[in-house]
């Protein structure tokens, strides 16, 4: 069986959870034998956005650069140009022996490539939903009219897909609410996963030295945030909540890749305001390598995920695998990962139902977030106990090998509908 995986992110160009998901999924899929032991392994071809020559030389992987003819065009239009390039490559040998049996796209960046490939080759198209355009209206700040185009591409692909994979039950409910014409039987839940060998606690002297070099004191209580600077991650709420934390608690923000200059400026302003009233505020405004992220998570008293929109939150799994307790907003798929009272603290959030995820009462959400963070940092032994429980949960329930098998089962179900 040949499967073509279509994606915006792929190593070494990864900036979010979707890219981590695709890289790990491809790794385990290539180890599977769909015809049974002794049979050929699954043939997985990856089509990813292009990089410079030599930066991506993995066998079975093709890079697709943006079309020169669309230089300067709206960002969403440039995406569709790459999608057509991908579709042409996937279907170049359509119908010949060894041609693709199924296409699998990830995020709206590649959804139209999957849809068009499926039509041209007459094969099923499977979509994995990492987020939904109708629930990210702030992207209009980033794309302008291109947000309408990205929304159209996603809607078209989802409604025609042979199968849609949701990364959480919460995400499945969102999909069916946003796209009510979808047959619920075609929407499957396959959680995100974690490589618990790659993500594990590091308390070595070298790790402590590296954390100090980043401006963090590993011997003092700390709240650590890791994520992109985007509306959905709830950073402004965290920064306002942090003003209510005990004065000895450090706030460490590894926050890079801002979506827009506006959100970058808002976060920078709030950080400056916070620094004017308290010490121990550390802003690392770049995406860190995995080694440094692991060291920060290992040194944290607690990891915080204040998201207002989070289909699952793979970053929570990464923190749990490193033995960090998690304080997170109880939204989307987060409650399926973080067990309240066992592996962390869930913060209730009542949200406006207009797609933005904004708290109905921001001050209450921020006060509740501050209270949970204060409870966690005031009792390091309890935070450590919950962190250890989180590590056990991540290993037992979110291993990639099982997720690969579940994904293969979705492929078989989609092929059975042909």
How does pLDDT run across 353-373, given as a tens digit for each residue?
Answer: 887 889 999 999 999 999 999
How long, in residues, is the chain? 418
Question: With contact defined as beta carbons under 8 Å apart, do 308 and 334 qualify?
Answer: no
CA–CA distance, 314 with 194 (Å, rounded to integer): 8
What pLDDT shows up at residue 52? 67
DSSP code string of 202-241? ---HHHHHHHHHTT--TTS-EEEEEEESSGGGTHHHHHHH
The domain containing residue 114 runs over which residues?
A: 2-193+399-416
Dmax (CA) for the chain in angstroms is 67
How does pLDDT run across 286-298, given as a tens digit for each residue?
Answer: 889 999 999 999 9
CA–CA distance, 84 with 77 (Å, rounded to integer): 11
Positive or negative, the Cα torsion across 67, 70, 72, 76? negative
Q: Please indicate, yes or no, if residue 54 is contained in any of the structural domains.
A: yes
CA–CA distance, 178 with 133 (Å, rounded to integer): 9
* CATH number of the domain within which 323 lies: 3.40.50.2000
Helix runs in 8-145, H state only = 17-29, 75-90, 108-121, 139-143
Q: Please indicate, yes or no, if residue 198 is contained in any of the structural domains.
A: no
Q: Please indicate, yes or no, if residue 199 is contained in any of the structural domains.
A: no
Question: With contact defined as beta carbons under 8 Å apart, do 14 and 127 qualify?
Answer: no
Q: Please indicate, yes or no, if residue 183 is contained in any of the structural domains.
A: yes
Contacts of 227 (CB under 8 A, 6+ apart): 233, 235, 254, 255, 305, 315
**Strand 326-329 and strand 222-228: pairing?**
unpaired
CA–CA distance, 119 with 65 (Å, rounded to integer): 23
- Give the mean model confidence (pLDDT) for residues 318-346: 97
Question: With contact defined as beta carbons under 8 Å apart, do 312 and 168 qualify?
Answer: yes
Question: With contact defined as beta carbons under 8 Å apart, do 76 and 149 qualify?
Answer: yes
Q: Please indicate, yes or no, if residue 330 is contained in any of the structural domains.
A: yes
Q: Please indicate, yes or no, if residue 80 is contained in any of the structural domains.
A: yes
Does one domain contain both 378 and 404? no
Does one domain contain both 185 and 245? no
Question: With contact defined as beta carbons under 8 Å apart, do 2 and 45 qualify?
Answer: yes
Does one domain contain both 178 and 275? no
How does pLDDT run across 43-54, given as a tens digit for each residue?
Answer: 999 999 987 666
pLDDT band, residue 351 (cuts 50/70/90): very high
Among candidate residues 247, 235, 236, the one with its CA nearest the CA of residue 279: 247
CA–CA distance, 335 with 347 (Å, rounded to integer): 10
What is the separation, in whole angstroms, between the first and last Cα of the chain? 15
Across the chain, what does the average pLDDT equal? 94
Does one domain contain both 284 and 361? yes
Does one domain contain both 239 and 329? yes
CA–CA distance, 49 with 31 (Å, rounded to integer): 24
Does one domain contain both 300 and 177? no
* pLDDT of 30 strictly over 80: yes
Provide the CA 103 distance to its chain's centre, in angstroms.
21
Does one domain contain both 136 and 183? yes
CA–CA distance, 26 with 166 (Å, rounded to integer): 17
What pLDDT shows up at residue 139? 80
Q: Please indicate, yes or no, if residue 230 is contained in any of the structural domains.
A: yes
Contacts of 50 (CB under 8 A, 6+ apart): 56, 63, 64, 65, 66, 82
Does one domain contain both 233 and 363? yes
Does one domain contain both 53 and 179? yes
pLDDT band, residue 17 (cuts 50/70/90): confident
Q: Please indicate, yes or no, if residue 113 is contained in any of the structural domains.
A: yes
* pLDDT of 73 strictly over 90: yes
Does one domain contain both 115 and 228? no
Does one domain contain both 186 and 289? no
How does pLDDT run across 199-227, given as a tens digit for each residue?
Answer: 999 999 999 999 999 999 999 999 999 99
Does one domain contain both 240 and 380? yes
* pLDDT of 248 strictly over 90: yes
Count up the domains in the chain and report the number. 2
- Give the mean model confidence (pLDDT) for residues 63-76: 93
């Amino acid at each position: 069986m040949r499967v073509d995986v279509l994606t915006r992110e792929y190593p070494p160009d990864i900036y979010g959870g979707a890219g981590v998901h695709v890289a790990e999924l491809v790794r385990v899929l290539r180890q599977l034998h769909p015809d049974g032991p002794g049979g050929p392994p699954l043939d997985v071809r990856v089509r990813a956005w292009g990089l410079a020559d030599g930066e991506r030389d993995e066998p079975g992987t093709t890079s697709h650069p943006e079309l020169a003819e669309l230089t300067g065009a709206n960002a969403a239009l440039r995406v569709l140009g790459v999608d057509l390039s991908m579709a042409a490559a996937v279907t170049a040998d359509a119908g010949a022996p060894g041609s693709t049996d199924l296409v699998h796209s990830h995020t709206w960046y590649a959804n139209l490539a999957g849809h068009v490939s499926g039509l041209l080759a007459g094969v099923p198209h499977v979509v994995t939903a990492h987020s939904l355009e109708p629930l990210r209206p702030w992207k209009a700040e980033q794309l302008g009219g291109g947000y309408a185009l990205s929304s159209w591409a996603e809607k078209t692909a989802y409604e025609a897909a042979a199968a849609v994979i949701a990364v959480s039950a919460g995400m499945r409910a969102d999909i069916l609410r946003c796209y009510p014409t979808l047959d619920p039987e075609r929407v499957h839940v396959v959680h995100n996963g974690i490589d618990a060998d790659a993500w594990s606690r590091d308390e070595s002297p070298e790790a402590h030295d590296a954390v100090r070099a980043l401006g963090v004191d590993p011997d003092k209580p700390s709240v650590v945030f890791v994520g992109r600077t985007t509306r959905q991650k709830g950073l402004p709420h965290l920064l306002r909540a942090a003003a209510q934390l005990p004065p000895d608690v450090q706030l460490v923000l590894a926050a890079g890749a801002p979506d827009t200059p506006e959100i970058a400026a808002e976060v920078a302003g709030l950080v400056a305001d916070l620094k004017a009233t308290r010490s121990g505020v550390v802003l690392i405004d770049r995406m860190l390598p995995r080694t440094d992220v692991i060291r920060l998570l290992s040194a944290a008293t607690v990891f915080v995920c204040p998201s207002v929109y989070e289909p699952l939150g793979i970053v929570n799994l990464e923190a749990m695998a490193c033995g960090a307790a998690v304080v997170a907003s109880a939204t989307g798929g987060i409650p399926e990962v973080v067990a309240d009272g066992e592996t962390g603290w869930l913060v209730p959030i009542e949200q406006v139902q207009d797609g933005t995820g904004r708290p109905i009462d921001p001050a209450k959400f921020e006060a509740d977030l501050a209270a949970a963070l204060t409870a966690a940092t005031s009792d390091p032994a309890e935070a450590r106990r919950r962190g250890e429980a989180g590590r056990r949960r991540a290993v037992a329930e979110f291993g990639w090998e099982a997720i690969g098998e579940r994904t293969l089962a979705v492929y078989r179900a989609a092929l059975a509908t042909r």
